[in-house]
């Protein structure tokens, strides 16, 4: 039973994409396509080459944006506006998730590798506006992306979060390594569990998991 493992938690940090909405919702498919479009235009590549580069930068740098900034000096703000100009029609409100998050004691924040304005739109579409105390995007970490530990340190310092008294909910297992090392309680939100040391809990249903903590 996970409840006893979270009695010390005062800050609840939630990733956004594929965490606060189900992975079958094709939001990130749109973003991925727009990333490839951006790389094509910015670097003059055909679609196949741009898509390979997008994926390589994600693997090697944590995000495609980080690779573009480090290797091509791309303007991050223009990129973030372009790739997040998508349709939100597939998102629906989730009253149960709202009630579960609202019931958590302490501070509740969203932290995403996307932009904060994009995150605010997703939060609103999910019916979660007003539930979170803060929403942070990659811009708030000086464009350092998760899984870079510097990114987490920047966000936690900005918000006053003590990692030893916090929990992180995240779909990408890479992004739970640094939080675990920093002393956070880690929860992998994904269809299938992954047996690795830095993941302490797994759930394929965030609302149900949160209901067991109150």
Mean pLDDT along residues 186-207: 97
**With bands split at pLDDT 50, 70 and 90, how would you rate the model's confidence at 214?**
confident
pLDDT for 7 equals: 96
Distances (CA, A) of 122 to 44, 104, 196: 31, 20, 30
**Tens-place pLDDT, residues 33-53:** 999 999 999 999 999 999 999
Evaluate the CA torsion angle 99, 121, 16, 90 in order and state its sign.
Answer: positive
**Domains identified in the chain and CATH numbers:** 2-22+92-211 (3.40.50.1000), 27-83 (1.10.150.450)
- The answer to whether 115 and 80 have CB atoms below 8 angstroms apart is yes
φ, ψ for residue 213 (rounded to 5)?
-100, -15
Summarize pLDDT for 99-136 with one digit per residue, the tens. 999 999 999 999 999 999 999 999 999 999 999 999 99
Give the neighbor-by-neighbor strand order of the sheet with 11-14. Answer: 134-136, 107-111, 11-14, 166-170, 185-189, 201-203
The pLDDT mean for the chain works out to 96
Given this model, what pLDDT does residue 1 score?
Answer: 63
């Amino acid at each position: 039973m996970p409840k006893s493992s979270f009695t010390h938690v005062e800050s609840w940090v939630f990733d956004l994409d594929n965490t606060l909405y189900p992975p079958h919702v094709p939001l990130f498919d749109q973003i991925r396509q727009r990333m490839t479009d951006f790389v094509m235009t910015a670097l003059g590549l055909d679609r196949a080459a741009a898509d390979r580069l997008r994926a390589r930068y994600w693997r090697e740098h944590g995000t495609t944006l980080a690779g573009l900034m480090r290797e091509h000096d791309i303007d991050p703000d223009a990129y973030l506006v372009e790739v997040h100009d998508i349709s939100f029609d597939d998102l629906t409100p989730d009253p149960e998730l709202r009630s579960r998050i609202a019931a958590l004691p302490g501070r509740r924040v969203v932290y995403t590798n996307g932009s904060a304005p994009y995150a605010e739109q997703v939060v609103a579409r999910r019916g979660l506006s007003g539930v979170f105390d803060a929403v942070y995007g990659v811009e708030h970490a000086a464009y350092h992306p998760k899984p870079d530990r510097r990114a987490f340190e920047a966000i936690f310092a900005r918000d006053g979060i003590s990692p030893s008294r916090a929990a992180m909910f995240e779909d990408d297992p890479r992004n739970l390594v640094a939080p675990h090392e920093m002393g956070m309680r880690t929860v992998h939100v994904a269809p299938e569990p992954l047996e690795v040391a830095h993941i302490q809990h797994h759930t394929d249903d965030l609302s149900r998991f949160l209901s067991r903590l109150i």
